[in-house]
Structure 1
């Protein structure tokens, strides 16, 4: 069918597949690398004559989301995310996309495709795609739009994955709120850890927004069909909404931390009041006992038959009186 990618024999090199797409109008070469080896990256770099700095980025990974141009090659870094509820951590996956006329390469840097199950394994002989990746390979209408359509599908899949992450964080935020008001003293550490995850996802979303904006308004805009440009606009809108939700979560966690600190101070003040009250109650009998324990020779009560009972009664009376005073003042 006209416009559909024609099958290429297995075992052809990157250079041969790229040349095939270049020499056959309406076709493209698509390379998907799962857990790529250094020799695979070097083969791609040689076939596409990639810049040395770009080759270094591909091999070393650990890049922030960005969009850069190296000659006729666009280099996109995107970070997918999934939320691990058990550990309350955001698990990021890094993807590199190389885009040039008639060809696109997607490199998975973290051994797992975006929508693949968390337990999926990736090796060079068994590529375990998720539902979204399978949909990409089966969507001939989208593939007709060229290599930029692959970039759109990747971005759309990644951005759609931010929604469940933010919902998971919001759910744990609600649990933390209940934990704070229940008086759990260990909640502060949980707040700090979740805040750190929110900051990381916020940085990823902000960088992704900048990359998508550059892709929409860059020099390659004329090569993007109007329909695909509208789809990229929808991705940008989704990123804007995700950024707003992330900012709200970060502000909410900051407020929760402040409330928790206030409650902790209040509980500490109440504890100090109780300690001070009981210390005063115990101090009065100790003071009387200490005076009588001096055993001076001239003490009228020493020769009094009821002196011992009088001292005990005085101790008890003072203790009861102080207890009632502190109880009325809500110190104990």
Structure 2
């Protein structure tokens, strides 16, 4: 689908490829979304350029994503899409500056484009030139990334509360599980389930932040390249002045994204440490249990030996004495551990 935006007029979607040349002459911004081969050919004929393929847009090399041919700029950057879903993606979008026209070629529909279209439709005279359209689109994308990072930061704050507020959270969740026999068992099972959910949320936040950083880095490269190749052009003077603010915003957001990435790493280490503490507590209980029953086992082993000369064998109180000794041998270590605070 190809949509044409002319200053002071509503947008027009291309319904017939034969009208592409006529609509291209007056348009300042041409938005190309998932074009068919016929639409690509009609646009290439109208503009006199070769539209990059989807494979060329996804090239990793900087020289393949940012280049100039015959005075026409081809700028490809990565934009985060689906940030509010469980499966965010990074999609390549190409900005083509051909004279007084801006062409955006994309195979995804970022929320920033919808926001910019709504802003432009509310005031059709606000954007007059291709540079103004480019600046408006990049501003919308940066604002969207800022919102995404703000939401990711709020999610990480909630995860932090869940990680470090373990006793209250555990007891709250434990009351929902009637299968556990004791409150301590309920709390432990609830904590185990909660840690699994926390790890899932941390993984989702990490993926979101890393994709946002990737998008910011790509736009830093784009703006650096744009300023370098258009620094002598008079028509781009206002856009170059605005680009300084854009670069500063990108730098601030990149720093914030780096902070969030470090916070994700900290929360991951903290969660794994909590899980390790839970496992150590279980091992400690098993170890103490084995140590508590070791002395009674020793007593039983002694009196289970088949020797003829054992005074307690013919003693009328021998059996109660052995039982009492085993109970005492089990209780004394237990009381000792409780006194030391190991249980």
State the TM-score, normalized to the length of structure 2.
Answer: 0.77
Kindly indicate whether the alpha-carbon contact (under 8 Å) linking 1:80 and 1:94 is maintained by their aligned counterparts in 2: yes
- Alpha-carbon distance in 2 for matches of 1:316, 1:331: 20
Residue matched to 2:77: 78
Structure 2 stretches of 5 or more lacking a match?
1-5, 167-190
- The alpha carbon displacement at 1:273 in A equals 2.3
Aligned to 2:132: 149
Q: Find the residue that maps to 1:269 and give its secondary structure.
A: helix
Distance 1:222 1:107 in 2: 24
Provide the residue aligned with 1:285 in structure 2: 296
C-alpha distance 113-321 of structure 1, shift in aligned 2 (>3 A): closer
What SS class does the counterpart of residue 75 from structure 1 fall into? strand
Deviates more, 1:190-199 or 1:318-327: 190-199
Q: 1:14, 1:221 → 2: CA distance?
A: 32
Q: Distance in 2 between matches of 1:320 and 1:73?
A: 87
Q: Which residue of 2 aligns with 1:45?
A: 44
Unaligned runs of 5+ in 1: 22-27, 117-129
* Residue number in structure 2 paired with 1:217: 228
How far did residue 83 of structure 1 move? Answer: 6.1
Cα-to-partner distance string for 1:173-226 (whole Å, 9 max, x where unaligned): 112112222254313343233223211211111111111122123235524444
| Greater CA drift, 77-86 or 180-189 | 77-86
For the 8 Å contact 1:99–1:147, the answer to whether it is kept is: yes
Contact 2:92/2:106, CA 8 A, preserved across alignment: yes
Q: 1:260 to 1:82 in 2, by over 3 A?
A: same
| CA deviations over 1:76-109 (Å, ceiling 9, x no partner) | 223333564563x545454322211122222231
Correspondence for 2:118: 134
**Offset, 1:29:** 4.6
1:305 alignment partner, one of 305, 308, 316: 316
Conserved 8 A contact 1:80-1:93: yes
| Aligned-partner Cα distance in 1 for 2:155–2:226 | 34
Q: 2:285 & 2:331 partners in 1: Cα distance?
A: 15
Aligned length: 304
Secondary structure of the 1:96 match is strand
Question: C-alpha displacement at 1:63, in angstroms?
Answer: 5.2
